[in-house]
Structure 1
């Protein structure tokens, strides 16, 4: 792990910050990494969204498109929450840069954090290839982004 410093989604470390007030604890992360090897953030909370909050999905694109204002993050009630997602992405980037993070371990399938698949915006459970807003921004700044499953495959 020499030379690597991680930005990690707070929910993966057991913080109850998800939209449904739950966490997605990945015990192996806590067991494998030392606290001085990472910083943690929930971009959605850092962007000003409450816990709990309505589920949200990106419509008509992915995180890169949201950053370019060519797509929107809409919650299940029809509210555009794109600005909060963008604000949270920049908060995550700022934190990563301050701590010189080289890698990010971010929650799969999240409209903020996913680096592989995101929900398609229909709230029907269908997934499409794409990055969440935070993942897209971090990748643009040469931070290696991976899901929790990719990290586990790397260490096991």
Structure 2
């Protein structure tokens, strides 16, 4: 039986009810189906793993401080950091080198995040989980570049 690289995956992509607004956001991708059949997927929602509820207030990373603040002004950075650490621990436990995380999320964004103004404006940046995983040498992808990950997996 072949041994495949495991992939850390945002639980929302599996259709799990973990998003801040309870919206179901299953990722419809043939690649995801293949990776599931190959038993590669290790799912996590860092925000839920960090203790946040579903639903929860929208939260955005503040550009000057890096703190994660909800729309009503609550600082939820501790929960976001705890979730990021749990994601890293899962990667270490399963020797994960690749992650597919939800773009634009204050946890999971890999190239874009919201600008902290709650105006639906995106800026270049990474969420707290993506930063931590990247610093640990884990390649982070989003739903927008699955093909790039698939090419890397084919080479291994």
Task: Please tell me the TM-score bracket, short chain as reference.
Answer: 0.7 to 0.9
TM-score for both structures, normalised by structure 1: 0.88
Q: Which position in structure 1 is the counterpart of 2:127?
A: 132
Go from structure 1 to structure 2 and tell me whether the alpha carbon gap of 1:25 and 1:87 turns closer, same or farther (over 3 Å shift): same
2:42 matched to 1:39?
A: yes
Higher mean C-alpha displacement, 76-85 vs 16-25: 16-25
**Contact 2:46/2:83, CA 8 A, preserved across alignment:** yes
Measured after TM superposition, the shift of residue 154 of structure 1 is 5.2
Q: Distance in 1 between matches of 2:75 and 2:88?
A: 22
Q: Where in structure 1 do 4 or more consecutive aligned residues deviate above 4 Å?
A: 152-156
Gaps of 5+ in 2: 152-156
2:142 matched to 1:141?
A: no
Measured after TM superposition, the shift of residue 16 of structure 1 is 1.1
Equivalent residues in 2 for 1:62-141 (5 A)? 70-141=65-136
Superposed CA RMSD:
1.9
Larger Rg: 2
Deviations 1:57-98 (A, max 9, x none): 00025xxxxxxxx42100011000000000000000001110
**Contact 2:141/2:149, CA 8 A, preserved across alignment:** no
Q: Distance in 1 between matches of 2:81 and 2:43?
A: 17
User: Secondary structure, in 3 states, of the residue corresponding to 2:141?
Assistant: strand
Gaps of 5+ in 1: 62-69
TM-score for both structures, normalised by structure 2: 0.88
User: Secondary structure, in 3 states, of the residue corresponding to 1:104?
Assistant: strand
Q: Which position in structure 1 is the counterpart of 2:154?
A: none
Deviations 1:13-69 (A, max 9, x none): 1111000012321121542213521200000000000000000000025xxxxxxxx
Q: Distance in 1 between matches of 2:77 and 2:14?
A: 25
